[in-house]
Chain A
Amino acid sequence: MNKKGDLVKNVLGILLTVLGLAVFFIGLSRLYSSHVNQESENAKRTIDVIMKKIDALPDGGSTQVVLQGFPGAENWYIVGWNKNDKDRPNKCFFNNCLCICKDDKNPEHGVDADSCQRNGFCRRIKLSPDIIYSYPEITSGVFKVGAYVPAGASGEGVAFNRVGVSCIPLANNLFDFNLNRLPVNYEFKGNSDFVSWSLHCPGLRYS
């Protein structure tokens, strides 16, 4: 006797098994997502909010954004990369881009394209501006011990009047962030008090 079609008798059982496995794996994925690195998720959310606000700006428009920090935010910074920067992260491809990157505290290079490539989230800006500026406005201050000292400065304890650096450190409370969509470039300016020079930013310039 060659009995075929035994599988038909087990269809119900198979369906129930598939349903149970599906519920199990869905529950497992939700459990995992709730424990995924929350700091990275918050950083990603921050850059996405900034990008949406940029997209909503008309040409020549400007806005001030209040951003809420998060635990660990003091280790992150925002930096803009131009499409002509030869050292920009690969994530930017051939576009201008704005990245939120984690400072890996490496005294050799500090914050740079490698940091952004490894520990950052970049969003491409596809429109025409050639230059992206991102910097905190600092009117006075003193380099602290351990900070990167640019060529020409005499070392720690150097007072400066005005410094522009190409990255904006985040804070773990609230901070202001100015977005200016200028005719030939975008300008991102952080207003937070810059109390730590432990970040090494590309393009540091001072006067």
Chain B
Amino acid sequence: MFSMVLVKRGEMTSDQIVALVLAIAGFIVVLIFAALFYGSSKGQDSIEACRLSVLTRATTPHAAQAAVPLACTTGKICVSKSGSSTACSQFLGEDGVISVKLDGKTDSDNARIIEKTSAEAMYQCWSMMGKGQLDLFGNAPELLVGSSGQATCVICSRVAYSDDIPLSVLSQVNLHSYLENALVPGSSGLTYLQAFTDKSINSFAGLQSAKPDSKINLNPENKKEQDLPKISGQTNGKQIAFVFSQVKPVSWERVLQNLGYAAVGSTFVISQVPGAGKVASALLFNPTGLLVTAVAGVTVAGGASWNAYEGQKAAAGYCGAFTSPNDKLKDGCSLVQAVNYNVGDINALCPGSIQGNP
């Protein structure tokens, strides 16, 4: 007797081959999708990381807040005719530059593109930082830099303008008007002004008249102009920054009163019309809680130079109760505004410290 031993080798059937090919093809598709998603959403990743870190810090007890870093990296936006991310020499050597191309048919169209870029940057900053109602710095200033009552800031983004943009475009930029009329993407029909304040507010004029006896007093101590803190107005090569600042003044109610508001916990938007003489160019907090103006010391030489800041004077803010884990320290004021990106102006606005990553 003998037995036949059947030797079956690992021969693949057609079903197995098909399954294998489909699995490999599916794997490749997933990899491509992941690569595209990761590449395109890298910017969104950093925004969401910032937002998450803001929420985490705001809900952390004050004693531990300083240990929670803000994962907010300053955005870099280069606006140019060419659309190249290397067109702005201000960002030489820096990574992560986003380019905005001015491809409008007219100078007016291109000015709208600049306004759109600025409005989005400003609103994104405000939204990312919790719309000013989160207590982000707690007693962090005392822990981090040993100071109190001084504004602490996050530089949300820097917007630089390349030299190939003609003055005829830049001189038409009016962020004030854009905020009043343009709709915030994905906001169910709200303008930027409404998104910053209230959906019932349709214009800056309406903002003023809605408040009885409203009067903005940006010089509550009636200081002489020469005694007001100065901001240089230097353009540093046509670059502005959208800065979020927060402070816990002695009396935030007085801050609101000086802005003509009687309500508690109010948001506000302030704008100055370009070219309206010596108007407030930036807003500063001081430890006593008064909102002090700073008069621009800009001199426009022969009309040929351009101050990036001139067309973008707008600030949005909130004064009132913060969402804070500490009941005793939960009142204050927050502000987002465009500031000329230079050492003097930024450090005047942020004497506490600058948080986040460069």
On A, residues with C-beta under 8 Å from B are 1-9, 11-12, 15-16, 19, 34, 38, 41-42, 45-46, 48-53, 55-56, 66-71, 74, 172-176, 191
Within 8 A of A (CB), among B1-60: 5-12, 16, 19-20, 23-24, 27, 30, 49
Closest to A49 in B: B93
Q: Please tell me which stretch of B100-108, B283-291, B300-308, B340-348 contacts chain A, meaning at least 4 of its Cβ atoms lie within 8 angstroms of it.
A: B340-348
Count of chain B residues with a beta carbon within 8 Å of a chain A beta carbon = 40
Partner of B24, one of A15, A34, A51, A173: A15
Is A15's CB under 8 angstroms from B23's CB? yes
Is B27's CB under 8 angstroms from A15's CB? yes
Closest to A54 in B: B93
Query: Is the CB of B74 closer than 8 A to any CB of chain A?
Result: yes
Is B358's CB under 8 angstroms from A2's CB? no
Given A56-B92, A191-B343; 4 other pairs, CB 8 A cutoff: A1-B5, A68-B74, A69-B358, A70-B354
Is B354's CB under 8 angstroms from A11's CB? no
Is A71's CB under 8 angstroms from B69's CB? yes
Per DSSP, chain B at the interface is loop
Is B93's CB under 8 angstroms from A5's CB? no
Is A45's CB under 8 angstroms from B27's CB? no
Partner of B10, one of A6, A15, A41: A6
Contacts of A12 in B (CB 8 A): 19-20, 23
Is A70's CB under 8 angstroms from B19's CB? no
Is A174's CB under 8 angstroms from B353's CB? no
Contacts of A66 in B (CB 8 A): 236, 341-343
The 17 listed contacts between A and B (C-beta, < 8 Å) are A1-B8, A2-B5, A5-B10, A6-B10, A9-B16, A34-B49, A45-B358, A51-B93, A52-B92, A53-B92, A66-B343, A68-B74, A71-B144, A173-B350, A173-B353, A173-B354, A174-B342
Contacts of A175 in B (CB 8 A): 343
Cα-based distance from A137 to B354 in the complex (angstroms): 23
